Amino acid sequence: MRIGTFLRPALTLLLLALVLRPVWFTPLFAPFASAGGPVIYERASLLSLSISHLGLVAAASAAATLVAVTLAILVTRPAGAAFLPLSRTITNMGQTFPPVAVLALAVPALGFGAGPTLVALFLYGLLPIFENAIVALSTLPPATMEAARGIGLNRWQQLVRVELPLALPVTLTGIRLSVVIALGTATLGSTVAARTLGEVIIAGLLTNNTAFVLQGGLIVGLFAVLIYDALVQLETRLVRRTGG
C-alpha cells in the first residue's frame, strides 16, 4: 500500500515520458544502440503505436469477455449444464494453440494486419475469463440464491441483480489475467504487420539494436504492470463492497 502510493505515480510518469518524450532517454539508451545507429525509435510515433497496441488488446479482451461470460452463463443454467464439458474443451484448445501458429493460420484467411492478431488475442483471452466466470457463477452463496428466488425474482432478475454482481470480482480476476497475457502477446502481431509496440522490438532485433528492444519492452512492461495494478484495485474495491 505505502510503496504503491509512491510507486504508482512514479511509474505512470515514467511511462508517459517514455511514450511522449522518448528523446529525453537518449543518454540512457545510447550505450545499448548499435554502433552509429539510431538510439530512439523514430520510424513511427510511440504514442500512435501505444494507442494501436492498447486498442487491439482492448477490442480482443472485450470480445473475449463477452463471449466467455455469455458461455459461462449458459453452461451454468440447468438447461445448459450438458454443454459444460464441450465448451471447456473448446476454450482449452484456444489456449493450447501456440500464438505464432494462430497468426500463421489466420493470415491466409484474414490477410496481413490487425485481423489475425485480434483473432489470436481473442482466443487466448477466452480461457481465463471463462474458467473464472464458471467458478464464480457456480459457487454463489446458496442462502442468497434461495432468497433471490424466495422473494420472487424471475430468472433474468436473479441473473442480473444477484448472480452477475456477486460473480463480478472473481470474473474480473480472469479478465485481468487475460488482459495482461494479451498485452504481451500483442507484440507478436507486428510479425504479421499489425501496428503494435512489437514493431519497435522487432526493428531492434532485425538491426541488432538493443536500445530499441529495451525501449519497446519497457513500455509494454510498464503498461502491463500499471493496468494489472488498476484492475487489482478495482477488484479489491468490489470485494469490499460485496462484503467478501
Partner 1 sequence: MIEIDKITRLYNGVPAVDAVTMTIETGTVTVIVGTSGSGKTTLLRMINRLEEPSSGEVRINGESTLTIKPHILRRRIGYAIQGHGLFPHHTVARNIGAVPELLNWSADKISARVDELLTLFSMEPETFRNRYPGELSGGQQQRVGVARALASRPDLLLMDEPFGALDPVIRTRAQDDLRRIQKQLGSTIILVTHDMEEAIRLADRVAVMDSGQLVQHGTPAEIITRPATEFVADMVGRVERPLRLLSLVPVSELVEEGVAEGEALPVEASLRDALSACLWTGRAAVPVEQDGVLVGRVTFEAIRARARARAHP
Closer residue to partner 1, CB minimum distance, 27 or 244: 244
Closer residue to partner 1, CB minimum distance, 148 or 211: 148
The yes or no reply on residue 153 touching partner 1 (CB under 8 A) is: yes
DSSP state letters, 211-230: HHHHHHHHHHHHHHHHHHHH
The yes or no reply on residue 206 touching partner 1 (CB under 8 A) is: no
Closer residue to partner 1, CB minimum distance, 37 or 141: 141
The yes or no reply on residue 144 touching partner 1 (CB under 8 A) is: yes
The yes or no reply on residue 162 touching partner 1 (CB under 8 A) is: yes
DSSP state letters, 18-44: HHH-GGGGHHHHGGGSPTTS-SS--SS
The yes or no reply on residue 244 touching partner 1 (CB under 8 A) is: yes
The yes or no reply on residue 154 touching partner 1 (CB under 8 A) is: yes
Judged by CB under 8 A, which stretch of 7-15, 138-146, 189-197, 225-233 contacts partner 1? Answer: 138-146
The yes or no reply on residue 21 touching partner 1 (CB under 8 A) is: no
Closer residue to partner 1, CB minimum distance, 111 or 165: 165
Q: Could you say which of 149, 160, 208, 237 contacts partner 1 (CB under 8 A)? A: 149
The yes or no reply on residue 147 touching partner 1 (CB under 8 A) is: yes
CB under 8 Å, gap of 24 or more: what pairs does 224-231 form?
A: 224/180, 224/183, 224/184, 225/11, 226/8, 226/11, 226/12, 226/15, 227/179, 227/180, 227/183, 228/176, 228/179, 228/180, 229/4, 229/8, 231/172, 231/175, 231/176, 231/179
Contact indicator for 163, 140 with CB cutoff of 8 Å: yes
Judged by CB under 8 A, which stretch of 22-30, 155-163, 201-209, 218-226 contacts partner 1? Answer: 155-163
The yes or no reply on residue 151 touching partner 1 (CB under 8 A) is: yes
Q: Could you say which of 166, 186, 201, 220 contacts partner 1 (CB under 8 A)? A: 166
Residues that bind partner 1 (CB under 8 A): 141, 143-154, 157, 161-162, 165-166, 241-244
